[in-house]
Structure 1
Amino acid sequence: MPEIIGDEPKSKPRTRAPRLRKPDAKDGAEIWALVRDCKPLDENSMYCNLIQADHFRDTCVVAELDGDVVGWISGHMIPNEDAFFVWQVAVSPKARGLGLGKKMLLHLLERDACADAAELKTTITEDNDASWALFRSFARAIGGELTDEPHFDEEAHFDGRHDTEHMVTITLPEEFDLKQAA
């Protein structure tokens, strides 16, 4: 029974602590809609997001807040490397300011599927300030070194239709306190 203050019941506050979990195929459409709403992210097909949520669920994460998917990271271990590659990070405007991007990254690194990762890699265009801020903050929080270099070139790889993507590499210390880094 809710606590009564005066004549009004004290309502339970809505949570601001997102629930992080592995995605499943049923999340595909909601993930696709989230990515579409998070400019400047490149949109994939809904089918691509469905396959990521189904086939790569061990290295992807969704964040739910009040029953809605408000965060998403897709990633995978790079074959023949000890590196976890982050493909996309999407955070809904209604969940911004909660440190959700960093929390999702830390959550993924705690998973068995990422246990052999010595590095985290991602690609970022020069003008994506939000992504640069997230990954720099993440590197500082865990005590990792961040480096970058042009990787997928605007002309050589994208036929002039997309800005150059820089490969960002963050060394993952052998031991770091994930809870403290959050």
Structure 2
Amino acid sequence: MTAAHADLYIDRPGVTDGAALWRLAKESGTLDLNSSYAYLLWCRDFSGTSVVARGDDGEPVGFVTGYLRPDRPGTLLVWQVAVDAAYRGRGLAARLLDALTTQVAAERGLDAVETTITPGNTASERLFTSYAARHGARVEREVLFATDHFPDGPHDPEVLYRIAPLTDLSNR
């Protein structure tokens, strides 16, 4: 699934995009940064459930990574969303999320989106609650991982946002 939006092009990531995704995550200032190796693997193994926005030069300027939950194959877990600072405020994250869910719905079926958000991350809260509103879905919230679940030092709790039911995404 590909889509053009003004000066941007949305498509699937490839292995050669792994370094750019790592850089975007690092420069976001809010995401938990995974190893560069993890982003390379993600672009190889989960490209079918992830999307990138490319600038005029073809380089990624934003991404959404996700995977289908093995125990709930109709549920897309959105892992990370990042947009380069120069492209923020244009609705790019919402376009990426819509493109990804339309793609997954058309290819594999989709009835729910999940993500985790730390308390106080208002940008992510707005992104996912507005996504739910656009698609006529409810948002259920519950703490998935409490602070004491994290072994590597202080970490805010991760609140699970479950957005469902999703219908007719393949026709959007």
Q: How many residues align?
A: 164
1:124-145 alpha-carbon deviations (Å, 9 max, x no partner): 0011111001001111111111
1:22-47 alpha-carbon deviations (Å, 9 max, x no partner): 11101111111111000111101111
Query: Could you list the runs of 5+ residues in structure 1 that have no partner in the other structure?
Result: 1-14
Q: Cα distance, 1:75 vs. partner?
A: 0.3
Q: Which residue of 1 aligns with 2:92?
A: 100
Query: Could you list the runs of 5+ residues in structure 2 that have no partner in the other structure?
Result: none
> Which of the two has higher C-alpha Rg?
1
Q: Which residue of 1 aligns with 2:147?
A: 154
Identity, % of aligned positions: 34
Matched, 1:91 2:83: yes
Q: Which residue of 1 aligns with 2:55?
A: 65
Between 1:109-118 and 1:51-60, the stretch displaced more is: 109-118
Partner amino acid, structure 2, of 1:141: R
1:151-175 alpha-carbon deviations (Å, 9 max, x no partner): 10101x1145211000000004322
Between 1:112-121 and 1:48-57, the stretch displaced more is: 112-121
User: TM-score under structure 1 normalisation?
Assistant: 0.84
Q: Which residue of 1 aligns with 2:136?
A: 143
Q: Cα distance, 1:70 vs. partner?
A: 0.9
Say if 1:17 and 1:164 are closer, same or farther in 2 by CA, change over 3 A: same
Secondary structure of the structure 2 residue equivalent to 1:174 = coil
Q: Which residue of 1 aligns with 2:168?
A: 175
Select the structure that is richer in helix: 2
Q: Cα distance, 1:110 vs. partner?
A: 1.9
**How well do the aligned residues superpose, as a CA RMSD in angstroms?**
1.8
Distance across 1 between alignment mates of 2:161 and 2:60: 27
